[in-house]
A and B are shown apart, each in its own frame.
Chain A
Amino acid sequence: MTTRLVAAGVVVLMGGAVAPSAQQPTFSAKRESVRVDVLVTDRGKVVTGLGASDFEVRDNGVPQTVELVSFQQIPLNVFLAFDVSSSVSGERLMHLQNAGHALLDRLAKDDRSALLTFSHTVLLREGLTGATARIRQALTDVQPYGDTALVDGAYAAIMLDPLDGGRNLLLMFSDGLDTASWLTPERVLDSAKRSDFVVYGVSSRGPEDSKFLEDLTELTGGTTLKIESTRDLSATFLKILDEFRQRYLISYSPTGVPAGGWHRLDVRVKGRRVMVKSRAGYQAGA
């Protein structure tokens, strides 16, 4: 049986219950598995060919034994969350639609996708599906209007996590300043700790105005890419998809750490001076 114990960008595969009712319960060895999406680059180029023994993982500072590494094997769940406020009109909308179509073209047969849009309203245009044509049509039908609720949109997207143990990429695009969200960035970032997404952001705003997106992507192990114009949006989206595909999925059974609470993650590659990017940690238990 595969059950999620913890949802925080890290899935816990559970063969049994967590250690029972002690004051500070710890994970019982060999029963649960934490999965972490990891990107390894060397001077900007993705490093391939690594195995489990190449990785060093610390969970709250406690070294763990990496048991499994998979690479480009598991189908992707690609969630597109696009800002369609009034600022994304005319040429910008065309660029956004073209970029979305280009990304959909690049999906593999078993990959799935979904489309959520946000202006001041948050709309699920099409839920997670393997029928790419439906996403295409929904994207084509988009009409920009209104203000921007980026934070609410991000929260709604996070709640779309299919909980199926797949690899979830959330690609958020926004060119606007959030002026309509009800939720605060802090509250959504807290919920993101319990989600299974790696979030990539594409923004044309300055650092102050895109802080939430940067915090969200950093927390979940993704990146925010700044663009000067939407003209090259297709290339940006494809770069994100290609990069996500080349991430490692490593797993380990947590030992020697409490079962609940926030778990800080530190992932490195042994003996190599490379860049390793993974989520900052995961929230275990409620």
Chain B
Amino acid sequence: MTRVRNIELVHFTRALELFPNDPEVLFFAASAHEAFAGARTQSVMRSIKVPRDVSFGVQDEDAELRLAEQLYKRAIERNPNHLEARIRLGRVLGLRGRHKEAVDLLRQGQVATEPVLQYYAHLFLGSEFEALGNGADARQSYERAAALAPAAQSPLFGLSRLADQAGDREGARELIARVFALAAGDEERVDPWWVYEIVQARSLDGLLADLHRRIAALPK
């Protein structure tokens, strides 16, 4: 369901009741709250009127980010090698204005072996360094993200904005020209940022297969 952006809190809540210390359950519950803090969900929540006694369980952006932070931290406590949780926690802390803590976590996430996770770590580091006023490191991070995903527009936007902020309007324009020069077709033009809210679901097939194996191995 996460894969098709149908994130239902009830399933995560029940899973947490059953397996409160499972790092994967904690991780997925955290990512649900991170998604709920995003514009897509928050806009829907603003636009619908519900009776006083009805609740969808979604809170405002700050509260959802706070929940996501708590759950990611618990996931990392249970599994310190969970680099994806570290990267996501880094982003959440950045959104909460704690940029130095965010940088520490994202740096740890840089060593992830999956290119998509490396991309997120570098992309988010670019933003966090920018927030800290560290233009040189921000530029380097965005450049690394751009190298990992040459068809992605987000690192180029980040680089352009950095140039503009530094007073280099011509440089900023050249970087946007690079965005315009990217392939127009949706198949060639892939930016992992666009699927950030659902990308964690990519591992679910493996987790389910592992679950089935374990169940099959149980004594009859």
Contacts and interface: CB of A to CB of B under 8 A. Distances in A.
A179 B39 contact: yes
A209 interface: yes
B8 interface: no
A286 B166 contact: yes
Contacts of B166: 286
Interface residues of A, number: 30
Given A147-B194, A183-B158, A285-B167, A208 B46 contact: yes
A52 interface: no
Contact of A206 (B40, B46, B172, B193): B46
B13 interface: no
Interface string A159-183: 1100000000000000001111011
Contacts of A190: 165
Contacts, number: 73
Contacts of B97: none
Nearest to A124: B180
Residue among A7, A122, A188, A206 with max Cβ neighbours from chain B (10 Å): A122
A276 interface: no
B157 interface: yes
A121 B164 contact: no
A178 B42 CA distance: 12
Interface in A87-134: 120-124
B194 A180 contact: yes
Contacts of B189: 121
Nearest to A283: B167
Interface of A: 7, 120-124, 145-147, 152, 155-156, 159-160, 177-180, 182-183, 187-188, 190-191, 194, 206, 208-209, 285-286
11 contacts: A120-B194, A121-B189, A155-B157, A155-B161, A177-B40, A177-B43, A187-B165, A191-B172, A206-B46, A208-B43, A286-B166
